[in-house]
Structure 1
């Protein structure tokens, strides 16, 4: 295949980065030449990577697929190859068109300075004027920056009912589950329905529709719907597009809600644990199962129903976003 460097019309020229200049090509300029090899090896040693005797594609891949010890180092390793290639290209053009000789210390300084600036921009809560030595001190620290939030299942208003639903997949088969409770947190109905082969979005939409239809058939018109699927919630609210596979199901849900003046809201998965367990339970069933008595619910579900009724709090834990990470999280 023709090398992209030929577009510049001087592909037969010798490079200016080697003691024994050879004909230029992309692999040589950005990876195998004396200048590129030194730069890659220098930064590869810092992050524990082996960059010698590898193609450019393989070299870039190892930088982008490796899992570092913490979020800051992970971000730097995503940016570093781009910065290195850009600096190598500027060095090549500087020599080719400006007759400027490149020196290793100058290029390394340019790369580390750029990475330091980018790191401070990506993590605005880091210690002021973070320098390259500070960043290098983080490479061996095994820290995962987590954020926790206290959450709980909220009871519906007095004389209202709340329907929570969810989906589950196992061995290529989907299913749904859900629970209807009154304003005291008392069980009205719970269900587990096997759905066979279907997408995750379709399973969670069908689970919500099943629960909604049951409530309508039993004259529960003052109803609040709750799902941990933001896509489904926004789709039912008609505030965004949904995949074509679930358009009909979402349309049926929306129509029933308009007729009975229902509302729907989004909740965290930790709040929706009862519906999640009921959805998982469907994989043990051959046909749909409805529970109207608390004593008949699966053991892994009954305990969670009691905790929700008593308003016991739960913890939602997730990785922090870049802007939320502070220097003390790493140190």
Structure 2
């Protein structure tokens, strides 16, 4: 049997998995993302966070390999794992893994991010989502050959898989833009803490989505301001303004990201994410007449297991 310590280490949180033959023996989570380390001073903070969440696993299984993905491999992370250029396969990630030294002198292998740098377009990057994709597609080699992957979130990712490689992707700052507008703009002054009823929330989201669909090039900032005027004129209850804004922003993202799906109805669309946010994206996709082939929750531990196997850190059957 093979064991693995796998870390999904992001900006705001840290998840640790003790795996055996690809299955979870134990899972832990802490708030010690790279921006919230338990101690200042860089290296020491990472070492302390590691010891607190899985130091006992390391002592119990000293020969067990340790791998990590996410922002822990960024320039601000424990040790930078440089970006791999697209198109890229899992083997490319494994061959170019970064490394850090664990408190006991052992090695931490870090999944590199991905860089899309076509000369005729603005560059784009992924760090963390690539391992979730690897996990979601683990049992579906046909999706590696041709599919689209959607990962809703603070920075939503739309990824194109082709010929066994991650070929192309686009990032949309939809979630972060929503948070900034609600919390740090004039729009938020009309938004109470009280949530709208399910009926009002759904109607407001659908209205925002409809406005987004009707818009043209350059209309987004004008549409965003309508969130305020919908409240001022009482066309929407203030409790539903967040839902309206959500519909606007998700609608604009979907209108942009799904253009390439036109004429390709058979191309599978896979969603990776959790909770109510994915439900909103599904609602929007259904409005556009686009089906979602499959939906997965957090698949990072599966992807980390596959990465470790590709790196020959574990034995697999």
Global fold match (TM > 0.5) = no
Q: Comparing both structures, which one devotes a greater share of its residues to strand?
A: 2
Normalised TM-score (structure 2): 0.26
Q: Comparing both structures, which one devotes a greater share of its residues to helix?
A: 1
Normalised TM-score (structure 1): 0.25
